[in-house]
Amino acid sequence: MKRILIIGFVWPEPNSSAAGGRMIQLIEAFLSEGAKITFASTASDSEFMLDVRELGIEKVSIELNNASFDEFVRTLNPSIVLFDRFMVEEQFGWRVAKECPTAIRLLDTEDLHCLRAARQLALKENRDFQLSDLQSDIAKREIASIYRCDSTLMISNYEIELLTTYFKVDTSLLFYLPFMLPVINESVTAKWKKFEERTNFIFIGNFLHAPNWDAVLYLKEEIWPLIRIELPEVELHIYGAYPSQKVQELNNPKQGFLCKGRAISAQEVVSKARVSIVPLRFGAGIKGKLVEAMQCGTPTVTTSIGAESMHGDFEWNGLIANSSKDSAKASIELYTNQTLWEKSQKNGIQIINFIYSKDQYQIPFLTHISSVKENLVQHRLNNFTGSMLMHHSMASTKFMSRWIEEKNR
């Protein structure tokens, strides 16, 4: 694992999104093996991005649809290339395969985009999600990307099940890798505020992520008014990176609905809240805001989609409810019942320590990559569909025909 190229959809913002935190976890795993990492992206610099150079990583800006990338990647000659989401693989995967054919191509899905989009469509049409909703152009693109790569990192067991049973993707192309987190020990819990020291509800999430905006609207219009009737003095604090004007317009101190924008320290504000309420009506993957709440000792109320694939056989870190009335009732119960609250907090500790412990996943992840590299030729021979999709013969004949058609006009 000498030279690794990571091509990012954006520059990592670990304090803005779970995706940013996930990327840092992957980087730390590679660095633990002494790898030299180059992080490249087409994105512009942002005020809140992490300067990866502080980690000893080379930072390179690249361009879309430009042959300069070919020379860059050929000169770099990485042994591993990690694509941050399938859109990045679409843009650069074929160039990497051409210039560095022996490099392992890894895809990090973050979450299954086609699942999130299908659930969003079902919600928009006011109906239940059906598996047939997955038959979309996004699914075709995303699964084609999975086939073209040597291994795809999956953050959710449920999504692996969908890919293998519904789409018939071979398990050899998928690797389960959730968040890799430090354990919660007594030195951590000793710093947590107790039940009686905490007040108010909290919601926190990046507002560039559509499920978060929908959840806040759902809170404002249907759930919070019911909670407020029973708890008239309690407030709901809404935090999140990149709040739009629409988010800010929801701010209403008289209703105790306070939109506070970006939190300087997400852990600080979550640690002060008594309950985190996250009523996600669509989405995919595992939810960083729910993991963060567990790390802060803050019980949560969420939906089945929110808790999906997050807690294994352990009891949830709070309560799960799927309607506005049930969400409000669960929120009031968790907020006022100290015994339930303390039990929920302990559940969160178990979930973090047994499902997301870094020690449980980092070495198997690195071993998996080494195994793929050692058997790369046979691994690719076993993946004929990937080779077929990489060939682009059908697309090339179509566009050649169109080019000739335009030329003859």
Q: Using CA atoms in the order 333, 339, 341, 344, what is the torsion angle rounded to 10 degrees?
A: -120
Residues 193 and 225 in one domain: yes
Residues 202 and 301 in one domain: yes
pLDDT given at position 394: 60
pLDDT given at position 212: 95
Q: How far is CA 53 from CA 60, 192, 266, 290, in A?
A: 10, 33, 24, 29
Least Cα distance to 79 among 151, 3, 190 occurs for 3
Last residue of a domain, one of 339, 355, 371: 355
Non-local (6+) Cβ contacts of 357 within 8 A are 180, 181, 182, 183
Last residue of a domain, one of 332, 355, 378: 355
Residues 326 and 196 in one domain: yes
Residues 398 and 284 in one domain: no
Least Cα distance to 317 among 289, 282, 358 occurs for 289
pLDDT given at position 126: 96
Last residue of a domain, one of 355, 370, 385: 355
Q: Where are the alpha helices (DSSP H) in 100-151?
A: 113-124, 137-148
- H-helix or E-strand containing 270? helix 266-272
Do 275 and 193 meet the contact criterion of CB atoms below 8 Å apart? no
Q: Check residue 322 and report its DSSP letter.
A: -
Residues 83 and 229 in one domain: no
Residues 349 and 362 in one domain: no
- Per-residue pLDDT tens listing for the chain (409 residues): 689 999 999 999 988 888 889 999 999 999 999 999 999 999 999 888 999 999 999 999 999 988 899 999 999 999 999 999 999 999 999 999 999 999 999 999 989 999 999 999 999 999 999 999 999 999 999 999 999 999 999 999 999 999 999 999 999 999 999 999 999 999 999 999 999 999 999 999 989 899 999 999 999 999 999 999 999 999 999 999 898 899 999 999 999 999 999 998 999 999 999 999 999 999 999 999 999 999 999 999 999 999 999 999 999 999 999 999 999 999 999 999 999 999 999 999 999 999 999 999 999 999 999 999 999 999 999 999 999 998 875 667 777 777 888 888 7
Residues 265 and 329 in one domain: yes
- β-partners of residue 319 are 301
Residues 192 and 336 in one domain: yes
Do 121 and 284 meet the contact criterion of CB atoms below 8 Å apart? no
CATH of the domain at 272: 3.40.50.2000
pLDDT given at position 386: 94
pLDDT given at position 165: 97
Residues 305 and 173 in one domain: no
Residues 278 and 148 in one domain: no
Task: Report the sign of the C-alpha dihedral through residues 242, 247, 251, 257, in that order.
Answer: negative
Q: How many domains does the chain have?
A: 2
Least Cα distance to 202 among 178, 227, 179 occurs for 227
pLDDT given at position 172: 97
Residues 165 and 195 in one domain: no
pLDDT given at position 1: 60
Q: Check residue 108 and report its DSSP letter.
A: E
Non-local (6+) Cβ contacts of 297 within 8 A are 189, 192, 193, 271, 345, 348, 349
Range of the domain at 98: 3-180+358-407
Considering only the C-alpha atoms of the chain, give the largest distance between any 2 of them, rounded to a whole number of Å. Answer: 78
Do 355 and 178 meet the contact criterion of CB atoms below 8 Å apart? yes
Q: How far is CA 122 from CA 116, 118, 389, in A?
A: 10, 6, 30
The structure tokens listed for 180 are 């890799």
Tell me which long-range contacts 321-330 makes (C-beta under 8 A, separation of at least 24).
321/279, 324/218, 324/222, 324/223, 324/226, 324/279, 325/226, 327/223, 327/277, 327/279, 327/301, 327/303, 328/223, 328/224, 328/226, 328/227, 328/230, 329/226, 330/301
Residues 374 and 388 in one domain: yes
